[in-house]
Structure 1
Amino acid sequence: MTKTTGREPLRAHRSGPRGGLGQVAGEGPRRPWPLVLAALLLLVLAVPGALLVAPGFIGPDAPQPKPAPPAWQQAPATLSAPQVLAPLQASAPVPLQAAVTAQVEPALKVDGGGTFTGTVQDALTGQVLFDRGGAESRVPASNLKLLTAVAALRTLGPDHRFTTKVVPGTAAGQVVLVGGGDVLLAAGESQPEQVMGHAGLATLAALTAQALQAAGITGDIKVLVDDSLFTGPALNPNWQSGDVEAGEIAPLYPLALNSARLNPAVTTGPRPQDAAMAAAAEFEARLRAAGAGAGLTVAAGVERSPGASQPNTAALAAVESATVAEQVNLMLQVSDNYLAETMGRMAAVATGRPGSNEGATAVVSAELAAAGIPTDALKLADVCGLAMGNQVSARQFTEVVRAIAIGADTRLRAALDGFPVGGLSGTLDARYGDAATSGGAGLVRAKTGTLNTVLALSGYVVDADGRLLVFSFIGNGLTPGAAGNKEALDRAATALAGCGCR
């Protein structure tokens, strides 16, 4: 038998001539060359495989240390000092009247027809630093909203909220949606972090369905709406029909969706002409959806029922608006006419006056006088500034701004955030971008006013020496569309921002 030892078997004789594949007698065993080559090939192939398999047995290489991040990405060793404006100092120099006039006068130049009046005052002392017809009564456009802000903050208070509630009706199966002055309602869920849409009708409907279910009420439900908080004409006869048709304003009611807009993101064009019924119809649809699983069937069609809610009736459900301070700031930032008119009427109601245009104009005038602001020759036809019959002077506006900024009534400070910032926010976000006005970007804070032949700008600025100045510039009889007039207002305010006028 041939014994194998892991190698080719040994032969006892030669199988061929010398040099063949056999062995020569007396020589040791020899590997055949093909086998040697095969072994070498296997070795060549085995080395890369071993390199691939080895990490599984010996583990990966130790990770290389990461380079340290640059200094600006590392945690600071100490906290930086707050980057804020230093407090205003009463010792900051007051600009000289002649120097301020020399800066503002050439900037306030009319483009085309019409005239500009204006006043600049030192906020702390009230000293007049510039005066061009500052006592003349002028059509102020939306600058009038500053007066409405003062009245709302004084009568309602910055922290007040308006309540939209649902109460039982006088007949079985009735619920009454009661308007309480919130015209910024959302159709969907309440959004507590927002001003527009802070209270939502979907949330109110869900709460109402829960209350009805808890009371054991099932079956048919009829929705009524009580919007009797406002009285008098819903449309001010002083408003021009073209402005109403263009959507600058709409009939006033004490509840509305999106400040009487079909879409909160679209602030131009047609508006609901019955904002209360539009809101009530939305509530009805939301209640129908919320009550479907609670055995409630909501009848189609909302009915208006003034006074259907009893004053002392406990509410089934309620939602609250954003604060008056938050709403005032929104009103000033975007110049919301509907919200301004609502604020005026709610201020009137808070002081026992009727919730009408007459009540609104009366309370604004009265609160200005009570705040120590001169009301001589003041005439108000509305409280949003859309009417051409309004008459206010630049000097009256600077006194209003002074009262807001440094006056004794600290409730008015809540309006400071509402002033648009030049080049950054609100109705000034697209201004102060050219070479002549960029020096006022981020510094000028002012309420704008725009009508066809009217432009106005009233606000405040800290000058180059750290002095707080208040100003008001009003143009009347201007050439419609003349581009240079807005720039004139902005140039004048920019001159104040850069003023080291001593």
Structure 2
Amino acid sequence: MSPPVPPYAATPAPPPPPARPRRLRLVAVLATVLVIALAAVGLAVVRPGPVAGWLGGAASSPKASARPPEPDPPAVLAGPDANAPEPTPEGVRAALEPLVRAAALGERVHVSVADVATGQALYGNGQDTPTVPASVTKLATGVAVLAARGPAYRIPTRAVAGASPGEVVLVGGGDPTLAVDKNGFYPGAARLDNLAAQVRKALGGTAPTKVTVDSSLFSGPVYGPGWDDDIPTGGFGAAITALMTDGARRDPAEARRTAEATNHAAERVPQPDLTAGRAFAKLLGLSGDAAEVKQGKAPAASGGARSAGATPAPGTELGKVESLPVVRLVDIMISDSDNVIAEAMARQVALAKGKPGSFVGGAAATDQVLGELGLPADEISLADGSGLSRTDRISPSLLTDLITLAGNGSHPELAAIFGGLPVGGWSGTLDDRYQASVTKAGAGVVRAKTGTLSRVNAIAGLVTTADGRLLTFAVLTDQTPEGTLDATREALDRISSALARCGCR
């Protein structure tokens, strides 16, 4: 979730893009593709309640626990019915036109709706116009990193021997979830205490003398262009460095306890790489002046054989830990709207494409990957990977094309994008939405990513109609009235709820 921000500064609308080719076609069932994609990387995503039914996942094996197992919940998000009646453009227009004109949505309301099974465009209102997307940007970032790195890729954090005896260089690979120990913020994350144990074993009789941190894999500014001034202190963003622990949270245990109440906002440290290095030095038993760390670069490995008991040569790898696979990082990024993970994922796209690990490199590489996937690159212009930047632009129709592509079977690895999408009235940033009588039709049948900045509100995802037809939709607004956040969100939810409620024929 994006933070509350200072008053919105209006930005001019981009010029209209050239005509678009016919919409992409979906040729496979979304749920089936997702299961295949996850199986291909050796992972199973099992979720409670209605999500399990939508994914087609079986209940996980019970673990030893003091609590009795919960009964199986009824399936709510069923798979799409290929034989369900298809909505018509006329029917969808009749259902949505009055809702799109709601005052709470402001003057720029851009909408795209398409049928998932056929790829047919069913409704558009400024659908090809690049619009400020806020956190909906994470859908593009997720698809790009899944395509560029693959769902199974894991980000390494290494320790190597420094130039002087006993010096250990901690080399950041860009894992934002790295933990100090078992009390980290992200469950299952790689841990520095495990890395320290490897280093002590590799050093043998050589005592560690100091720690240097190498976070040079990322370059350029640590805060994004177009970010509001309070991002460094507001709790939803952080300095983006190649080495950090717990998403740069100052107190991960406290952040874990209060995550739900604070929408995952937490105080962040100003220099994440040095903070991680100090924690690592303590794990190696260093104290006092020896525990102070500096930035530097790891020496190149010599490649020579090491004699038994000899001091490791400079550049010798002393240990390595690896992050959760990218499929899980994308899942967390989308379900929790984690801005720090998003920026780390954009840099992974950059590195995979041979570009600098920076805001500029990540944006350029994401644009490149989406173009290679056949998506209209002229309808997206990014400055970051999280959507915190007010200079980001994405068209609604690119988003519905992207969602369609992620499920059409031509790129099975992209189907992992669906695992983290919040469910209306159930999970993530949609858990407290679709509660009013005018929107409750969307509860349990809308699955979407939201985006929020002041005067910017967006939502994009999937909805199942009353006839069982699966549609993809995107609604982006970037000039909403001030002080109308609740009314704007309800107006957005009414649009997807109308699709859930109707056959639209």
Give the whole-Å Cα distance in 2 for the aligned partners of 1:288 and 1:349: 34
- Partner residue of 1:287? 284
2:498 is the alignment partner of 1:495: yes
Give the whole-Å Cα distance in 2 for the aligned partners of 1:236 and 1:102: 41
- Partner residue of 1:118? 111
Q: How does 1:461-500 map to 2 (within 5 A)?
A: 461-482=463-484, 483-500=486-503
- Partner residue of 2:223? 235
Indicate the structure (1 or 2) with the bigger Cα radius of gyration. 1
Among 159, 168, 191, the alignment partner of 1:175 is 168
Cα deviation code 1:107-142 (max 9, x no counterpart): 332317433110100112221111111111211111
Count how many residue pairs are aligned between Structure 1 and Structure 2: 412
CA contact (8 A) 2:186 2:246 kept: no
Give the whole-Å Cα distance in 2 for the aligned partners of 1:123 and 1:471: 10
Give the whole-Å Cα distance in 2 for the aligned partners of 1:115 and 1:279: 44
Q: How does 1:88-103 map to 2 (within 5 A)?
A: 88-103=80-95
Give the whole-Å Cα distance in 1 for the aligned partners of 2:301 and 2:430: 45
When residues 496 and 314 of structure 1 are mapped into structure 2, their CA distance, relative to the original with a 3 A threshold, is farther
| Deviation of the 1:169 alpha carbon | 0.8
- Partner residue of 2:296? 305
2:331 is the alignment partner of 1:340: no
TM-score, with length taken from structure 2: 0.77
Give the whole-Å Cα distance in 2 for the aligned partners of 1:288 and 1:461: 54
Give the whole-Å Cα distance in 1 for the aligned partners of 2:328 and 2:271: 25
Among 444, 448, 454, the alignment partner of 1:446 is 448
Give the whole-Å Cα distance in 2 for the aligned partners of 1:166 and 1:370: 35
Q: How does 1:96-245 map to 2 (within 5 A)?
A: 96-108=88-100, 109-111=102-104, 113-189=106-182, 195-196=186-187, 198-212=189-203, 215-218=204-207, 220-245=208-233
| Deviation of the 1:415 alpha carbon | 1.1
* Partner SS for 1:204: helix
Give the whole-Å Cα distance in 1 for the aligned partners of 2:474 and 2:395: 9
Amino acid at match of 1:332: I
Among 419, 422, 428, the alignment partner of 1:420 is 422
| Deviation of the 1:197 alpha carbon | 5.1
* Partner SS for 2:246: coil
Q: How does 1:10-49 map to 2 (within 5 A)?
A: none
Cα deviation code 1:349-371 (max 9, x no counterpart): 11211111111011110111111
- Partner residue of 1:24? none
Cα deviation code 1:263-312 (max 9, x no counterpart): 242532531111111111111112218xx9xxxx9922111113445496
- Partner residue of 1:268? 265
Q: How does 1:380-395 map to 2 (within 5 A)?
A: 380-395=382-397
| Deviation of the 1:335 alpha carbon | 0.9
Q: How does 1:392-403 map to 2 (within 5 A)?
A: 392-403=394-405
Q: How does 1:323-402 map to 2 (within 5 A)?
A: 323-402=325-404
Give the whole-Å Cα distance in 2 for the aligned partners of 1:235 and 1:86: 41
When residues 139 and 225 of structure 1 are mapped into structure 2, their CA distance, relative to the original with a 3 A threshold, is same
- Tell me which of the two structures has the higher relative contact order, counting C-alpha pairs closer than 8 angstroms and 6 or more residues apart: 2
CA contact (8 A) 1:150 1:412 kept: yes
| Deviation of the 1:480 alpha carbon | 2.7
Give the whole-Å Cα distance in 2 for the aligned partners of 1:164 and 1:402: 35
More displaced stretch, 466-475 vs 430-439: 430-439
Give the whole-Å Cα distance in 2 for the aligned partners of 1:391 and 1:87: 32
Name stretches of at least 5 consecutive residues in structure 2 with no aligned partner.
Answer: 1-71, 304-314
Amino acid at match of 1:280: G
- Partner residue of 1:61? none
Work out the percentage of aligned pairs sharing the same amino acid: 40
Amino acid at match of 1:327: L
Give the whole-Å Cα distance in 2 for the aligned partners of 1:247 and 1:369: 33
What CA RMSD, in Å, does the superposition of the two structures yield over aligned residues?
2.4
CA contact (8 A) 2:110 2:396 kept: yes
TM-score, with length taken from structure 1: 0.77
